Amino acid sequence: MTSAQMVDDVEALIETYAPLTPVPLTPELRLHLTSDVYGLWEETGDAAPPFWAVPWPGGQALARYLLDTPEVVRGRRVLDVASGCGVVAIAAACAGAAAVSAADIDRRAIAVMALNAEANDVIIDAALVDPLDGDAADVEFVLVGDAFYERQLAERMTAYLNRVVRRGVIALVGDIGRTYLPRDLLKPIATFDVPVTADLEDTTTKRATVWRFGPTT
């Protein structure tokens, strides 16, 4: 499927399942979000759930923090890793980042991020890429929302963040304290009670923390 075909496919899906909706913790942002996760998942036929249509709690917390403290990223080159729906990347752009890149390995995520950025009148450079073997050479700031839910991914993400922070990059993580979060490498800087999708979290609210990542010695 070409990029144009993927955009057309995503547009057809979101028309039925994911209309433009205010993000619960950042209602100034409107994204294509679903209230029917399993219906959309069945419609896509994909192996993985439609993470690109859900505002994960750690991502919402990180987006809220950036909008509340825009000086953190203002004028900086930013990379949002495992960007999903793009809420963190879009918040960074709204906060005045000089340039915002977003990386994800899901083609639908890349397509929907373009639509979400347009809906919020910002520019983000969304790329279908796995950056975790690199060192974020072209950016000053790395943002990660909800990427520590699975062991192998968490191990790769931790190694990646160690490399980029040693290079002088600032890294912020948004997370609710999932199983594989490397707490010994994190310093909490803000906490939010986040409305969440009950279908995925078995509750309607989660407490999410924004952390600053620090390297091992």
Q: Give the pLDDT confidence of 16-34 residue by residue, as tens digits.
A: 999 999 999 999 999 999 9
3-state secondary structure of 205: strand
pLDDT above 70 (res 109): yes
Measure the CA–CA gap between 170 and 115, rounded to whole angstroms: 28
Measure the CA–CA gap between 194 and 196, rounded to whole angstroms: 6
The whole-number pLDDT of residue 204 equals 81
74 touches 132 (CB < 8 A)? no
3-213 is classed in which CATH architecture?
3-Layer(aba) Sandwich (3.40)
The whole-number pLDDT of residue 108 equals 93
Percentage of the chain lying above the pLDDT 70 cut: 93
Please give the residue that has the higher pLDDT: either 89 or 11.
Answer: 89
Average of per-residue pLDDT across 58-70: 98
Lowest mean pLDDT among 67-76, 77-86, 114-123, 196-205: 196-205
Dihedral through CA 101, CA 52, CA 48, CA 125, nearest 10? Answer: -20
Q: What is the mean pLDDT of the chain?
A: 92
pLDDT bracket for residue 201 (50, 70, 90): low
Average of per-residue pLDDT across 125-145: 94
Average of per-residue pLDDT across 4-13: 72
196: left (phi over 0), alpha (psi -120 to 50) or beta: beta
At residue 205, what are phi and psi to the nearest 5 degrees?
-145, 140
Question: ∠ at Cα 168 (165, 173), nearest 5°?
Answer: 40
pTM for the whole structure:
0.92
Average of per-residue pLDDT across 156-166: 96
32 touches 14 (CB < 8 A)? yes
Strand 141-145 to strand 186-195: parallel, antiparallel, or no bridges (unpaired)?
unpaired
Strand order in the sheet with 77-81: 125-128, 99-104, 77-81, 141-145, 170-175, 205-213, 186-195
pLDDT bracket for residue 6 (50, 70, 90): low
Q: How many C-beta atoms surround the C-beta of residue 35 within 10 A?
A: 15
pLDDT bracket for residue 177 (50, 70, 90): very high
